[in-house]
Structure 1
């Protein structure tokens, strides 16, 4: 997985790289089939109710999860994650803090790798302050381009 895709995944953006398969299993004596993961058809003909617990493997997102493709408020998401940290992190101005909030390695080596992945010239990686400023803006712009709602003043 690319470094940026890891960021998107932590924010709940992007698409799963997992292949999708369709298999069927017998659902009734009449020989009809139901896709794996679909609710079973009960003998009376109705589909039993499905509760939205968000349990792993159910294919059902937890309550409060935006529908697929819905914009995600990045400020709210990152502010919430920042509050869970044991230190004060200013993700709005610092790429190091942004990565820390997401639980991603914020080392200089990792930031340089991410910068190159996002299009920063590899021969200009010597000025870490310049790289950090560029990378912070580039990451927020790419998050916005991938469905995240980022405040205009941060772009």
Structure 2
């Protein structure tokens, strides 16, 4: 499991689309709705794109459930008893989540998130990582305040 996947697992509920994998879960969910529409064509009528489309209306798009990332992390900090600056520090964020915060782990996370700067400049990398993680959390259905994304 990637480090970013571990971050998602710690913040989002286990049944949230960000944790269930959009590819496999979406494909499994789409199959049952597609079958009845294609079976609605009269027997003996070949299924063509026009008859399949006419008999199979698209299900309404359900918005991804939003998770208040700031509230989840604040609650985790209250429970931890540690004073961690997770709002600006990737090291403290990883510690809060109970994940490896070592330089090697942060370099691995930087690679996962396609960091193009020098991993030898850990201060610059850490600032970039924190912003990227917050941005990616927002892209995956997290409600993240703007000040945490920039």
Indicate the TM-score class for this superposition, using the shorter chain for normalisation. 0.5 to 0.7
Unpaired stretches in structure 1, ≥5 consecutive residues = 22-67
> What are the residue-to-residue correspondences of 1:72-151 with 2, within 5 Å?
72-121=67-116, 124-151=118-145
Distance 1:143 1:107 in 2: 21
Are 1:16 and 2:11 matched, yes or no? no
Are 1:3 and 2:30 matched, yes or no? no
Distance 1:135 1:106 in 2: 12
Offset of 1:86 from its aligned partner? 3.0
- Give the corresponding residue for 1:154: 148
Unpaired stretches in structure 2, ≥5 consecutive residues = 29-62
| TM-score, with length taken from structure 1 | 0.64
Backbone CA RMSD of aligned residues? 2.4
Alpha-carbon displacement from aligned partner over 1:79-133 (angstroms, at most 9, x marks no partner): 0001111310111011011111111111111011001110102x71101101100
Alpha-carbon displacement from aligned partner over 1:15-56 (angstroms, at most 9, x marks no partner): 325x779xxxxxxxxxxxxxxxxxxxxxxxxxxxxxxxxxxx
